[in-house]
């Protein structure tokens, strides 16, 4: 599991064997069963988390108790309430396992200490946070400028493997449509592919 984490980090920064071992030792494994919460609204978000198996969702609840999914996370992705983590404010999101999942997590204090010991980690996190900001901006722009059909088409193109393992009602929430509307969109796309 930790080999996957180190390989992921080495895609962006160079880590010596010794540094890789130090990083590996600092991350702790957490197993989650389907529907188990990794984080709840109001909890402190003290950890960075890397998914090594499974699928999770980051969501909030509206005034009627409906889920508003902000993000999905699959094997090889990071998942967190980044706002809560960076501001050290209570979490505003829930993080829940969609399937049995495994994450590797590191506490903020441990990570901060490693920045001094392994400067490449500082660069790694700067790049990851920049990429997260860009992804959030793109999602915001797409939600405002694209039709629901365009958003769904983009989703299935970018996240084909994820689309197969996530219930349709969750994808609908992520896209900002009702499950019924998503069903209509899927039928429309399916019939246009057949013609």
What's residue 195's pLDDT? Answer: 53
pLDDT score recorded for residue 135? 85
Domain final residue, candidates 105, 126, 145: 145
Q: Do 26 and 106 fall within a single domain?
A: yes
Query: Is residue 103 within 8 Å of 32, Cβ to Cβ?
Result: yes
Domain residue limits at 183 = 146-195
121 and 151 together in one domain: no
Task: Report how far apart, in Å, the C-alpha atoms of 56 and of each of 7, 91, 103, 136, 186 are.
Answer: 21, 16, 10, 17, 23
| Residue written as token pair 């402190």 | 44
**Which H/E stretch holds residue 38?**
strand 37-39
Residues 194, 113 share a domain: no
* Domains of the chain: total: 2
Question: Do residues 40 and 123 share a domain?
Answer: yes
Q: What is the pLDDT of residue 6?
A: 94
The pLDDT value given to residue 40: 96
Co-location of 94 and 169 in the same domain: no
Q: What is the pLDDT of residue 60?
A: 94
Residues for the chain: how many in total? Answer: 195
Residues 127, 159, single domain; the answer is no
95 close to 80: Cβ distance less than 8 angstroms: yes
CATH number, domain of 129, equals 2.60.120.10
pTM of the model as a whole: 0.88
Q: Could you report the average pLDDT of every consecutive run of 10 residues in the chain (195 residues)?
A: 92 94 96 97 95 95 91 92 92 96 96 93 92 86 87 84 83 90 86 63
User: Is residue 38 within 8 Å of residue 51, measured between CB atoms?
Assistant: no
């Amino acid at each position: 599991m930790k080999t996957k984490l180190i390989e992921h980090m080495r895609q962006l920064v160079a880590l010596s064997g010794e540094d890789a071992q130090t990083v590996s030792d600092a991350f702790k494994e957490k197993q989650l069963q389907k529907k188990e919460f990794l984080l709840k609204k109001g909890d402190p978000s003290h950890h960075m988390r890397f998914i090594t198996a499974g699928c999770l969702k980051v969501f909030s609840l509206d005034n009627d108790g409906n889920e508003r999914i902000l993000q999905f996370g699959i094997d090889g992705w990071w998942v967190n309430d980044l706002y809560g983590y960076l501001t050290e404010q209570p979490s505003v999101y829930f993080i829940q396992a969609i399937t049995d999942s495994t994450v590797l997590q590191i506490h903020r204090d441990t990570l901060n200490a490693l920045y001094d010991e392994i400067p490449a980690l500082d660069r790694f996190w700067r790049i990851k946070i920049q990429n997260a900001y860009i992804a959030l901006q793109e999602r915001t722009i797409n939600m405002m400028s694209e039709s629901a059909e365009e958003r769904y088409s983009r989703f299935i193109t970018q996240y084909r493997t994820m689309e197969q393992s996530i219930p349709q009602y969750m994808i609908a929430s992520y896209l900002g449509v009702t499950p019924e509307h998503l069903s209509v969109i899927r039928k429309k796309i399916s019939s246009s592919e057949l013609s």
